Amino acid sequence: MRNSILEAAEILKAAKYTIAFTGAGISAESGIPTYRGKGGVWLETNPKILELSFFLQNPEETWAQIRDKFYRYFGKITPNSAHYTLSNWQTKGFLCDIITQNIDHLHQDAGCHSVHEFHGTLHSLSCVHCGKQYKASTIDMHTLPFCTACSKRRNFLKPNFVFFGEGIPEKAYDASIKAAEKADVCIIIGTSGLVRPAATIPHFAHENGTKIIEINLEPSNYTDSISDVFLAGKATEILAQIDAVM
Ligand code: NAD
């Protein structure tokens, strides 16, 4: 296992097609708790409210909890320097795709493109009946929002993040697999690698010969299995150190 910034930079400089695979850890320094970390609101959440069938049957009862747990950061948080470093690398041609498990839209807010949101997004909602799309910023969140376009009775809106019992968005899934197939380097940032099927993407890339650079505060599921370089520390600091020698 290698663990030097210079080795990571050399691998990145020699790469023809680099992808990033990100998790909650990259947004932690923007102030959003991780999933399993201390204060992780998601762990305190009753998992039932994230089950698609429960939500569809009990939308009014579930909405207030979804709003309070998931939308409490919405519009109040901004990208941190780790998101901006990735955006900068895309501009310079060092980084192609970003596959993210995050639903917070911070990669795009930092100016990133080719962001494949494996677990969907908080940023928009859709009508459970007609599928009409709504930007979250245009919705009154106080009570369960309803579709203004279709005439069905229970035409409420569902956030476009992936609930338990719901498939991965097809477009994001296909784009992620394509990117992983093309990549000769994958940089994994701030994920425990425990949530499947997302967690299998770096393994899939590794099986195709992709080199793996990992950044995390602590070893993850990937560290001793597929990571070629493991850099321990905060995403903002490690990415800044790599950037300085690129
Ligand atoms: P996780 O909570 O399981 O793991 C987070 C990882 O990030 C840990 O390994 C931790 O050591 C690391 N980490 C924490 N702070 C870091 C930092 N400053 N720099 C580098 N690494 C850091 O999260 P996960 O693996 O992404 O899986 C959780 C699931 O929950 C995902 O599916 C995701 O959709 C969802 N989630 C999303 C958000 C978000 O959108 N910001 C937040 C929480 C959870």
Pocket-testing residue among 32, 35, 42, 223, ligand 1, by greatest number of atoms within 8 A of Cβ: 35
Dist CA 239 CA 148 (whole Å): 44
From the CB of 240, is ligand 1 less than 6 Å away? no
Instruction: Give me the pLDDT at residue 47, please.
Output: 73
Backbone angles phi, psi at 150, to 5 degrees: -115, 165
Rounded to the nearest whole angstrom, what is the distance from the C-alpha of residue 122 to the centroid of ligand 1?
Answer: 16
Instruction: Give me the pLDDT at residue 185, please.
Output: 98
Q: What is the mean pLDDT of each run of 10 residues along the chain (246 residues)?
A: 88 97 96 73 69 91 87 87 98 97 96 98 93 93 90 83 93 97 98 93 97 96 96 97 95
Instruction: Give me the pLDDT at residue 32, please.
Output: 87
Instruction: Give me the pLDDT at residue 117, please.
Output: 98
Q: List the structure tokens of 50.
A: 């994230």
Q: How far is CA 22 from the centre of its chain?
A: 6
Instruction: Give me the pLDDT at residue 45, please.
Output: 64
Instruction: Give me the pLDDT at residue 153, please.
Output: 67
Instruction: Give me the pLDDT at residue 152, please.
Output: 63
Instruction: Give me the pLDDT at residue 75, please.
Output: 80
Rounded to the nearest whole angstrom, what is the distance from the C-alpha of residue 221 to the centroid of ligand 1?
Answer: 13
Dist CA 49 CA 190 (whole Å): 25
Active centre residues (catalytic) = 119
Q: How far is CA 239 from the centre of its chain?
A: 17
Instruction: Give me the pLDDT at residue 44, please.
Output: 63
Pocket-testing residue among 22, 30, 34, 221, ligand 1, by greatest number of atoms within 8 A of Cβ: 34
